[in-house]
């Protein structure tokens, strides 16, 4: 009798606890970053496993910087192994490739995998959480603060519907080569095949291709979703859903609203590079010192950060690198020791009006520039200043419903700058055979699709997005044993996708490994759409950037 009464009480309390989670929503035009709808969008709430979006953003960033590779093996700590479900089932002391941890965190929302990523990238989860917060500030997420890598409820760990939508857009634009993982229904995670926590929504909402679910009792049922229909892309976030079904239904209505209100034709505004906060004087000193240091050596100024009360300036990483290279070029013949001493004593950098010395050879200039680039990247990352708010979660009753009209909408997010990222190297990267990480390659492999079932996507080897536009993109449909086989595949795809491939040129590249079937002369959008449609047929299709 007592047990029956206890079960009845628990059944009553659990729905109340879930329903007590505050509700918030935000809808954005993914092409421009402009707000379409907002309800409690800046209220600080528990993000739950939406946190893993930032964990994955940090992992992708580390791969792009050459700090780790997808086949780098991470060691599992006791803390990571003991995380509560959802989890992959990792054991303490086990070593597992980063690619599998990424799949488990993105698709299954595994807490042990997320913790392992953070600990191995930053040395500890606390350090990683601080880096996550600093990155959030650099991305314009002004009301987010992180305390862990997995999103389990913790004091001081919060975000907002607006911030998570910004992060979702960043994942789409900043890492297009990895973004398809968020639409996977299942994947091989090394020790198990994992299934997506978001597969119901992906299957039922036309055009949906991501991104991440989240749930805790304190947070309710959360979801950041992205969908594309025609030329429109809408990204939205829901906090505080009362169930999976209710959250998905709410998200469907929000996305429908977005597609209905967003203009059909609009100028795409890609997000600018992350804006790091650096100290103007110290960054100049670091830049000059870095120019006289071999790439493998860490500048001395990085060992002891030099805080200053002087004004701080917000600059992009590209701007800082360009300034560093300009400073290094002013004294090309100075010895490294003299350069470092001069940079510490001088209050500014003087440019010589004339010089009797002949200019350096191009190869030497290129070598110095490359050394400066590598060293200063580390310097700029090390001088990031955390400015996250220390406030906690808002305590309030469930917010009232938003009005149905558009009149009460809060101000739109400012359009991001359209400055492009610096051109990247054309060197090819093959993770399975390369002994060292190769920086900024045009090809990244997120893993083999072998053995992952009928839903496996064969397009895991893709080209990184290029800043150049026009009709210079292409697609590769794979290599074949004979020219006739390659030509047959080209004709097959050209006929199936005649609308997208109108004007594209068919080309067959012959090499020792076979005949590669390619279609060139496409826009970036048409190339991406073509590969998306071809992948649905379980056929190979790789993007070819300019």
Known catalytic residues are: 49, 52, 109
pTM exceeds 0.95 for this model: no
Question: How far apart are the C-alpha atoms of 10 and 142, rounded to whole Å?
Answer: 38
Average pLDDT in the 227-231 region? 96
pLDDT at 538 (0 to 100): 83
| pLDDT of 133 above 70 | yes
Average pLDDT in the 24-32 region? 98
pLDDT at 142 (0 to 100): 96
Q: Residue 10: in which H helix or E strand, if any?
A: helix 2-19
Q: Scanning the structure block, which residue is given the tokens 């089932």?
A: 89
Average pLDDT in the 491-510 region? 80
| pLDDT of 171 above 70 | yes
pLDDT band for position 359 (cuts 50, 70, 90):
low
* Average pLDDT of the residues of the chain: 73
Q: For residues 9 and 26, is the Cβ–Cβ distance under 8 A?
A: no
Cis? peptide before 211, omega within 30° of 0: yes
Kind of pairing, strands 312-316 and 275-279? antiparallel
Q: For residues 97 and 72, is the Cβ–Cβ distance under 8 A?
A: yes
Question: How far apart are the C-alpha atoms of 150 and 55, rounded to whole Å?
Answer: 8
| pLDDT of 338 above 50 | no
Question: Which numeric CATH code is attached to 466-544?
Answer: 3.30.70.1070
| pLDDT of 167 above 80 | yes
Cα distances (Å, whole numbers) of residue 258 to 230, 400, 500: 13, 21, 25
| pLDDT of 336 above 70 | no
182: tokens are 């968020």
pLDDT at 268 (0 to 100): 95
pLDDT at 172 (0 to 100): 97
| pLDDT of 85 above 90 | yes
Question: How far apart are the C-alpha atoms of 256 and 207, rounded to whole Å?
Answer: 11
Which DSSP letter does residue 48 get?
G
Q: Return the higher-pLDDT residue of 32 and 382.
A: 32
If you write DSSP's letter for every residue of 484-516 in order, what string do you get?
A: HHHHHHHHHHHHHTTTTSTTPEEEEEEETTEEE
CB-CB neighbours of 55 under 10 Å: 28
**Which range is least confidently modeled, 226-235, 273-282, 406-415?**
406-415
What percent of the chain is predicted at pLDDT more than 90? 47
Comma-separated ranges of CATH 3.40.710.10 domains in the chain: 18-261
The dihedral built from the CA positions of residue 344, 349, 354 and 355, taken in this order, carries a sign that is positive
- The CATH number, out of the four listed (3.40.50.150, 3.40.50.300, 2.40.50.140, 3.40.710.10), of the domain defined by the range 18-261: 3.40.710.10
Question: How far apart are the C-alpha atoms of 311 and 284, rounded to whole Å?
Answer: 14
Comma-separated ranges of CATH 3.30.70.1070 domains in the chain: 466-544
**Backbone torsion region of residue 521, taken as left when φ is above 0, otherwise alpha when ψ lies between -120 and 50, otherwise beta:** left
| pLDDT of 450 above 60 | no
pLDDT band for position 488 (cuts 50, 70, 90):
confident
pLDDT at 365 (0 to 100): 44
**Which range is least confidently modeled, 169-173, 297-301, 365-369, 398-402?**
297-301
Per-residue pLDDT reduced to its tens digit, 269-311: 999 988 865 444 344 333 333 333 333 333 333 344 444 433 3
Per-residue pLDDT reduced to its tens digit, 135-159: 999 999 999 999 999 999 999 999 9
pLDDT at 357 (0 to 100): 52
**Strand stretches in 104-247, DSSP E:** 186-188, 193-195, 208-216, 220-229, 232-241
Radius of gyration of the chain (CA): 25
Question: How far apart are the C-alpha atoms of 529 and 443, rounded to whole Å?
Answer: 19
CA angle 530, 532, 534 (to 5 degrees): 70
pLDDT at 392 (0 to 100): 52
């Amino acid at each position: 009798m007592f047990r029956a009464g206890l079960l009845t009480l628990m059944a009553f309390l659990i729905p109340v606890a879930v329903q007590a989670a505050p509700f918030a929503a935000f809808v954005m035009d993914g092409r421009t970053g402009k707000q379409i709808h907002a309800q409690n969008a800046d209220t600080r709430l528990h993000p739950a496993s939406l946190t893993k979006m930032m964990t994955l953003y940090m992992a992708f960033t580390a791969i792009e910087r050459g700090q780790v590779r997808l086949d780098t093996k991470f060691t599992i700590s006791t803390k990571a192994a003991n995380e509560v479900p959802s989890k992959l089932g990792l054991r303490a002391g086990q070593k597992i490739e980063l690619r599998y941890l990424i799949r488990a965190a993105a698709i299954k929302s595994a807490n042990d995998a997320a913790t392992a990523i953070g600990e191995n990238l930053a040395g500890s989860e606390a350090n990683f959480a601080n880096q996550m917060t600093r990155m959030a500030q650099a991305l314009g997420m002004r009301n987010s603060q992180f305390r862990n890598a997995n999103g389990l409820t913790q004091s001081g760990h919060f975000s907002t519907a607006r911030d998570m939508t910004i992060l979702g857009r960043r994942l789409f634009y900043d890492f297009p080569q990895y973004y398809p993982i968020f639409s996977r229904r299942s994947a091989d995670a090394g020790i198990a095949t994992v299934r997506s926590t978001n597969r119901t929504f992906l299957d039922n909402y036309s055009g949906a291709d991501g991104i991440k679910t989240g749930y805790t009792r304190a947070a309710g049922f959360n979801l950041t979703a992205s969908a594309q229909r025609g030329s429109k892309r809408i990204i939205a976030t829901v906090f505080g859903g009362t169930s999976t079904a209710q959250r998905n239904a709410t998200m469907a209505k929000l996305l429908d609203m977005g597609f209905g209100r967003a203009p059909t034709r609009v100028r795409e505004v890609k997000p600018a590079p992350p804006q790091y906060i650096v100290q103007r004087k110290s960054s100049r000193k670091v830049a000059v010192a870095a120019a006289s240091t071999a790439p493998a050596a860490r500048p001395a100024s990085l060992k002891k950060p030099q805080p200053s009360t002087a004004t701080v300036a917000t600059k992009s990483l590209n701007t800082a690198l360009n300034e560093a290279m300009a400073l290094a070029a002013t004294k090309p013949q100075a010895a490294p020791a003299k350069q470092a001493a001069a940079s510490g004593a001088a209050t500014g950098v003087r440019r010589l009006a004339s010089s009797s010395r002949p200019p350096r050879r191009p190869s030497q200039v290129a070598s110095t520039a490359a050394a400066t680039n590598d060293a200063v990247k580390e310097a700029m990352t090390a001088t990031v200043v955390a400015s996250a708010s220390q406030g906690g979660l808002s305590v309030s009753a469930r917010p009232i419903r938003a009005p149905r009209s558009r009149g009460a909408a809060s101000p739109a997010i400012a359009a991001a700058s359209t400055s492009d990222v610096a051109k990247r190297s054309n060197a090819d990267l093959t993770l399975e055979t390369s002994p060292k990480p190769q920086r900024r390659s045009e090809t990244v492999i997120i893993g083999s699709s072998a053995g992952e079932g009928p839903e496996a996507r064969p397009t895991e080897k893709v080209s990184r997005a290029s800043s150049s536009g026009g009709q210079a993109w292409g697609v590769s449909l794979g290599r074949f044993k004979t020219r006739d086989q390659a030509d047959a595949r080209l004709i097959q795809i050209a006929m199936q996708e005649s609308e997208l491939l109108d004007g594209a040129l068919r080309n067959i590249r012959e090499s020792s490994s076979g005949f590669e079937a390619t279609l060139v002369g496409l826009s970036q959008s048409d190339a991406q759409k073509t590969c998306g449609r071809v992948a649905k047929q379980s056929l190979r299709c790789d993007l070819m950037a300019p």
